[in-house]
């Protein structure tokens, strides 16, 4: 009978531990900064320093921040990708399971390509190939270093 009375207490303690550790980690890792559009949030992890430095030297530095290129331009898409990337980045950095230098994943690359097309639609529309082998413009084919100058 005594075990049954302890079970709710154990569940509550375990729940409190998970919430407490999660909150501490979120504050320690400055997780709240990822809810903003401040590029400094991207360098919370030291591994992103080179990316920040190269962006500051790029031609897009004065017209686009990290989120302008690396996130979709709609509310739901923006926060869905932020959540997906945030979880993936947290797991990779916690487990030390990432490639150095960081290599953009296919999904994120498609988001960046979509951002290029979104901002440069009038120019790209005139260049899009039409015909039986229609190909979408791939700005990064020629302009891979536009956002991050080398």
DSSP string, 3-31: HHHHHHHHHHHHHHHHHHHHHHHHHHTTG
pLDDT score for 122: 80
pLDDT score for 144: 79
Pick the most confident of 45-49, 87-91, 121-125, 146-150.
87-91
3-state secondary structure of 130: coil
Q: For 43-47, 58-62, 90-94, 144-148, which range has the lowest pLDDT when averaged over its residues?
A: 43-47
Asked whether residue 130 carries a pLDDT value surpassing 90, the answer given is: no
Q: Bigger pLDDT: 1 or 80?
A: 80
Angle at 148 between CA 145 and CA 150, to 5 degrees: 70
> Which token pair is 97?
């399971």
8 Å CB contact between 43 and 73: no
pLDDT score for 2: 61
pTM of the model: 0.74
Q: For 52-61, 70-79, 139-148, which range has the lowest pLDDT when averaged over its residues?
A: 139-148
Which residues touch 93 (CB under 8 Å, ≥6 apart)?
A: 45, 47
Asked whether residue 67 carries a pLDDT value surpassing 90, the answer given is: yes
pLDDT score for 96: 87
CB neighbours (10 Å) of residue 62? 6
Q: Bigger pLDDT: 11 or 34?
A: 11
Dump pLDDT digits (tens) for 93-129: 888 888 888 888 899 999 998 898 888 888 777 766 5
């Amino acid at each position: 009978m005594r075990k049954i009375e302890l079970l709710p207490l154990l569940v509550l303690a375990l729940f409190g531990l998970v919430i407490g550790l999660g909150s501490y980690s979120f504050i320690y890792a400055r997780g709240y900064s990822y809810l903003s559009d401040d590029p400094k949030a991207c360098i919370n992890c030291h591994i992103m320093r080179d990316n920040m430095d190269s962006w500051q030297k790029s031609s897009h530095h004065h017209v686009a921040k990290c989120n302008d290129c690396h996130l979709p331009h709609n509310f739901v898409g923006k926060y869905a990708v932020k959540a997906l990337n945030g979880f993936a980045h947290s797991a990779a950095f916690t487990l030390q399971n990432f490639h150095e230098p960081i290599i953009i994943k296919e999904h994120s690359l498609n988001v960046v390509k979509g951002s290029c097309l979104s901002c440069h639609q009038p120019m790209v529309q005139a260049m899009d190939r039409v015909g039986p082998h229609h190909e979408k413009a791939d700005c990064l084919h020629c302009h891979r270093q536009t956002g991050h100058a080398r």
